[in-house]
Chain A
Amino acid sequence: MQKFDKILIGIAFSPNLKPNLFEAVRLANMFNAELVGVHVGEKSEEKEKNIQAILQEADFLKTKFTAIWQQGEPVDVILKTCKNEQIDLLILGALQKENIYKYYVGSIARKITRKAPCSVLLLIKPSIVRQACKHIVVNGLEDKKTEETIKTSFLISNYLNCKKITIVEEIKQEELHVKVNDDRSLRRANIAKERLETRENRRVNKILNEIECQNFIVNTQSIFGKRGYSIGHYAKVKRADLLVMNGPRKSGIIDRIFPHDIEYILSELPTDVLIVK
């Protein structure tokens, strides 16, 4: 299980700065974590004042706030700070496509997400007023990292006081081994599907057995579809407030051309996304 003791937020002087900072302070308070702000660029009095002013306005920060000023390539600076400061959680804001309610991650944030040594939280709608988190969707893929991710999401929902968790098992269509051609193969495919679903549920339940989850409403949902993509779609349809995903394995150039898993989510954020390392 992960603990979030130190949170890093990138500070860019954009219109989103205020909601971003508010959200960061709120999270830091919830996790009882230290907050570090890093600004890529020159330090100036005006900027510093600006930040202080916002922090004054925000909730009272129970822990320490450190500001780091450093010049250089944004990606490098942030990644380096993550390492040097031993950050547990990095908060990044998402961008919105013009006048439609679609969110995506900018190129810089995308690079950071891929390489970050720590967990990353992508916020699509940082807000000044607190929005309660009511429903968390977690991936339950068959993967080494999944157990850790599920445990972490329970920890987080504890902090966020979220009561409803849905664990989504994405099953590759190919695993079905039955192609639907006519009525008979359809029947066979449905039987095979049920079998796979039971198997996946059993696997997830095994993980859940080790977690104290009496206080939560835990659902499991099996989806046959492309990994990474269908869970995002599901989170959107179900209007979940947070989607928790496994961290990416190494992603090369090919993954960007033929996106998979996490890359799908990055190109179209369905909701706030936490990527657990």
Chain B
Amino acid sequence: MKKQSTFKTFLSEIPQNLFSGFVVSLIALPLGLGLALASGAPPISGIIAAIVGGTVVAIIGGSNVTITGPGNGLVVVILAAITTLGEGDMQQGFLYTLAAIVVSGVIMIILGFLRMGSLGDFFPSSAIQGMLAAIGIGIFAKQIHVMFGNIYAKGSIIELLLKIPEGIINFIKTDSTSIFYAGLVGIISLLIMIFYGKIRNRYLKLIPAPMWIVILSISFYAYFEYFSTADYPIEKSLLISLPNDILSNFAFPDFGKIYKMEFISAVISITLIASIESLLSIKAVDKLDSLKRRSNVNKDIRALGIATVISGFLGGLNVVTVIARSSVNVNNKGSNRSANFFHASFLIVFILLFATQLRKIPLPALAAILVFTGYKLASPDNIVKVFKVGKEQLIIFLITLLTTISTSLITGILVGIFATLIMHIIINKNAKLFFKNIIKPNVLMFKEDDIYYVSVKNFSSFLNYTKLKTKLNQIPETEEAIIDFSLCDFVDDSVMENMSNYAESFTRKGGHFEVIGLDDAEPKSNHPFALRKIMPKQINNLNKVFTKRQGSIENISKEMHWQYDPFSDIEMEELPTFGYFKTRKIQKVSNVLSNDSCTIFDVHFSEGELIAKQIVKTTMLHIHPKKNIPDFTLDKEGLFEHILHFVGYTDIDLDNHPDFSKRFYLSGKNEKQIIEFFTDELILFFESNKQYHISATKKGLLIFGNERLASVKEIKALAYFGIALQKIIG
């Protein structure tokens, strides 16, 4: 029954996926050609990767709206592999690299089977940002020369960057019309890429920018071919070369260097980048999915591996999940994997029908697309974003960036990881925290009253994030989850970023995800992803920073017209009069939310002294009643811990309310007064609401749930409970 209906929806969605696949293929065609060229590989190899990837992953993949094909992250690695393995002979180097691609595909398959999809979590986010920026700079440095018509520029990334001014001067001074026209096409293409985003015309937007470049380049050629008497001014060496017989002329990998060190290192870097890029993209695309599905990452990695192996044998590049094309797919209402399949099919059609026309595209036009992509990866905006999270993140970012540019990708990312670890140690002034606790299973999750409660101990950073992640992934996003970091000494930015992602996906799917226990951690900046170190001693925070929870509480206060003071210094004079606080020392009251007669606050108090001292944080509600109330404690029958100070007084049973007496434990000194106080209305109120611990003195009522900080939702519930109770007791 269900099967049929899904098949029906699949059929009904075919038109929209067909269209979406078509639009994506318009981008994939120039990008595929361009990425392959930038990698130093024959242009067709990029298209092969897209076709194979689109077909294979659409059939056996585990994600829904992703598009697969050649990735921009791989440009730098593949170019390096071709150069080093070929030792000057680019053609031979490409064949060796194909072998490396095949092997890396096999490794990806194995990673998928071993469920190593979580491997990507071991990379701190700033280091990954730095690495991506380095890749961007790498692409930019090489392609900007090509864009100006100089396809022979060679050297390391830094050398290429330094040669840019010289390249521009050479272009202006050039006396070759071929280079001049080619460069002109390149510059115009770049302008199209830059200004396309600013144009809001619906009809222009129908065709993506890269395709405009292709169309305009071909029209440019057509003008010379059919209208102008002059010859096409751009030389053949500056045009794309496609094999004459595209369908039979496949390059075949050469496994001759398989045991060589440089081959192995090429395989490692290709696999590393391919899997990181794919994992990041899959994660990002899941956030875009309008149907809120969860991708099966491992299955997808497996499919990508298989696609890569096939693509490699056919002379194509690596197949990875690509974010830009996937988002275009989502924007054009692609709804399932068939869009990816259609994108591949359209590519086949294009390459078969328009091969002649495509051969007329000048290389600088494609280079312009890549210059723009490279710039996007390394754009200053990204650096500003990283800096906002914290100074130390910028340092990590720059270290990774510079090492990657000056050495290799593998060294770069390793140095980035190492720098992050060192930075964490410096911030905590404590290396033992990390080394002693790294292998400990530090996450506890249990379900209580239908809420998933997750407590994290010791520290939580990229080093042990997988442990937290596996637990969190077991919570359906439609449920309520509370993540408590109060036992953690340190939480890093990668974890914070992920928490924010979880919160987002829970909200999207109708659940609730809340992080607690960080209100008195000292963040390094006021960015929500800033890493946090929890202060062992009581410190009056100088740079008082709002946490997200505090922001939400503020919102509640506005909603309910209560006052809110997150950093209140007021002493709660009434608190110590409550029996509960006779044995507990109040340290700090914060996040005070109040109206005329009710006050909700977080209280930090300590139990025991010296070595036995334990700091406890709890959210409580205090009601100032207008009438006099007798001293009593009301509790869930069974919570004995709160009523220690009343030992000797037994449960007061209210005669005509057996159910109430069964569920609640009521005790107090003056039994008669208490029985009088508990009117039928009040009893009904208690019976029909959530059971809290309530202790009453002449100074008021103290109400709280669990002995921990309440989530925002719980605070709201507590507030309404208070208001209603206040009404009844007057």
A: which residues have CB within 8 A of B? 96, 99-101, 124-125, 127, 131-132, 134-135, 163-164, 173, 179-183, 185-187, 189-190, 217, 221-226, 229-230, 233-234, 236-237, 239, 264
Could you mark each residue 119-149 of chain B with 1 if its beta carbon is under 8 Å from any beta carbon of chain A, else 0? 0000000000000000000000000000000
Of the candidates B446, B611, B640, which one forms a contact with A234 in the assembled complex, judged by CB atoms under 8 Å apart?
B446
Q: Can you list the 6 inter-chain pairs with the closest CB atoms, starting with the nearest?
A: A125-B612, A233-B444, A226-B441, A217-B638, A181-B296, A134-B641
Q: Which of B70-78, B396-404, B586-594, B613-621 contacts A (4 or more CB under 8 A)?
A: B613-621
Q: Can you spell out 22 A-B residue pairs with CB atoms less than 8 angstroms apart? A: A96-B611, A100-B489, A127-B612, A134-B640, A134-B641, A134-B644, A173-B470, A180-B474, A181-B298, A181-B299, A182-B293, A182-B296, A185-B296, A186-B473, A186-B476, A217-B638, A223-B444, A223-B445, A233-B442, A233-B444, A237-B453, A264-B440
Q: How far is the CA of A181 from the CA of B615 in the complex (A)?
A: 38
Shortest CB-to-CB span from A67 to chain B, Å, is: 26
Q: How far is the CA of A222 from the CA of B448 in the complex (A)?
A: 10
Q: How far is the CA of A100 from the CA of B536 in the complex (A)?
A: 7
Knowing A181-B298, A186-B474 touch, does A229 contact B487 (C-beta < 8 A)? no
Closest chain B residue, CB of each to CB of A240? B641
Knowing A163-B640, A237-B487, A239-B707 touch, does A182 contact B444 (C-beta < 8 A)? no
- Write out the residue numbers on chain B whose beta carbons fall within 8 Å of the beta carbon of A221: 446, 448
**Does B163 have its Cβ within 8 Å of any Cβ on chain A?**
no
- Write out the residue numbers on chain A whose beta carbons fall within 8 Å of the beta carbon of B440: 229, 264
Knowing A101-B614, A125-B612 touch, does A164 contact B536 (C-beta < 8 A)? no
**Does B287 have its Cβ within 8 Å of any Cβ on chain A?**
no
A229 in contact with B638 (CB, 8 Å): no
Q: How far is the CA of A264 from the CA of B62 in the complex (A)?
A: 38
B: which residues have CB within 8 A of A? 62, 115, 293-299, 440-446, 448, 453, 455, 457, 470, 473-474, 476, 484, 487, 489, 536, 608, 611-616, 638-641, 644, 707
Knowing A164-B641, A225-B441 touch, does A125 contact B115 (C-beta < 8 A)? no
B444 in contact with A234 (CB, 8 Å): yes
- Write out the residue numbers on chain B whose beta carbons fall within 8 Å of the beta carbon of A222: 446
Q: How far is the CA of A12 from the CA of B448 in the complex (A)?
A: 43
A230 in contact with B441 (CB, 8 Å): yes
A225 in contact with B445 (CB, 8 Å): yes
The secondary structure that dominates the B interface is: mixed
Shortest CB-to-CB span from A138 to chain B, Å, is: 15
Shortest CB-to-CB span from B138 to chain A, Å, is: 34
- Write out the residue numbers on chain B whose beta carbons fall within 8 Å of the beta carbon of A96: 611
Shortest CB-to-CB span from B123 to chain A, Å, is: 21
B476 in contact with A101 (CB, 8 Å): no
Closest chain B residue, CB of each to CB of A222? B446
- Write out the residue numbers on chain A whose beta carbons fall within 8 Å of the beta carbon of B444: 223, 225, 230, 233-234, 237
A181 in contact with B62 (CB, 8 Å): yes
Closest chain B residue, CB of each to CB of A132? B644
B474 in contact with A189 (CB, 8 Å): yes
Of the candidates A101, A135, A183, which one forms a contact with B641 in the assembled complex, judged by CB atoms under 8 Å apart?
A135
Chain B CB within 10 A, most for which of A101, A225, A230, A233:
A233
B62 in contact with A182 (CB, 8 Å): yes
Q: How far is the CA of A126 from the CA of B177 in the complex (A)?
A: 91
Shortest CB-to-CB span from B408 to chain A, Å, is: 33
Q: How far is the CA of A187 from the CA of B474 in the complex (A)?
A: 9
Of the candidates A229, A237, A239, which one forms a contact with B614 in the assembled complex, judged by CB atoms under 8 Å apart?
A239
Knowing A100-B536, A125-B608, A189-B474 touch, does A239 contact B640 (C-beta < 8 A)? no
- Write out the residue numbers on chain B whose beta carbons fall within 8 Å of the beta carbon of A180: 470, 473-474
Of the candidates B294, B295, B608, B640, which one forms a contact with A217 in the assembled complex, judged by CB atoms under 8 Å apart?
B640
Closest chain B residue, CB of each to CB of A182? B296
Knowing A127-B608, A225-B444 touch, does A164 contact B487 (C-beta < 8 A)? no
B638 in contact with A237 (CB, 8 Å): no
Q: How far is the CA of A101 from the CA of B610 in the complex (A)?
A: 10
B62 in contact with A239 (CB, 8 Å): no
Closest chain A residue, CB of each to CB of B706? A238
B612 in contact with A224 (CB, 8 Å): no
Q: How far is the CA of A252 from the CA of B638 in the complex (A)?
A: 42
Q: How far is the CA of A132 from the CA of B298 in the complex (A)?
A: 51
Known: A100-B536, A237-B487. 12 other contacts (CB 8 A): A101-B614, A125-B612, A180-B470, A181-B298, A183-B294, A217-B638, A223-B445, A225-B441, A225-B444, A234-B444, A237-B444, A239-B707
Q: How far is the CA of A248 from the CA of B108 in the complex (A)?
A: 41
B294 in contact with A182 (CB, 8 Å): yes
- Write out the residue numbers on chain B whose beta carbons fall within 8 Å of the beta carbon of A224: 445, 474
Shortest CB-to-CB span from A201 to chain B, Å, is: 13
B613 in contact with A101 (CB, 8 Å): yes
Shortest CB-to-CB span from B446 to chain A, Å, is: 5
Closest chain B residue, CB of each to CB of A186? B476
Closest chain B residue, CB of each to CB of A223? B446
A164 in contact with B294 (CB, 8 Å): no
Q: How far is the CA of A101 from the CA of B606 in the complex (A)?
A: 12
A179 in contact with B115 (CB, 8 Å): yes
- Write out the residue numbers on chain A whose beta carbons fall within 8 Å of the beta carbon of B614: 101, 239
Shortest CB-to-CB span from A262 to chain B, Å, is: 14
Closest chain B residue, CB of each to CB of A97? B432
Q: How far is the CA of A21 from the CA of B457 in the complex (A)?
A: 32
Q: How far is the CA of A123 from the CA of B573 in the complex (A)?
A: 35
Shortest CB-to-CB span from A20 to chain B, Å, is: 12
Closest chain A residue, CB of each to CB of B433? A100
Q: How far is the CA of A99 from the CA of B296 in the complex (A)?
A: 45
B487 in contact with A236 (CB, 8 Å): yes
- Write out the residue numbers on chain A whose beta carbons fall within 8 Å of the beta carbon of B115: 179
Shortest CB-to-CB span from A221 to chain B, Å, is: 6
Shortest CB-to-CB span from A184 to chain B, Å, is: 9
- Write out the residue numbers on chain B whose beta carbons fall within 8 Å of the beta carbon of A239: 614, 616, 707
Q: How far is the CA of A101 from the CA of B489 in the complex (A)?
A: 12
Knowing A186-B294, A186-B474, A234-B446 touch, does A131 contact B641 (C-beta < 8 A)? no
- Write out the residue numbers on chain B whose beta carbons fall within 8 Å of the beta carbon of A185: 296
- Write out the residue numbers on chain A whose beta carbons fall within 8 Å of the beta carbon of B640: 134, 163-164, 217
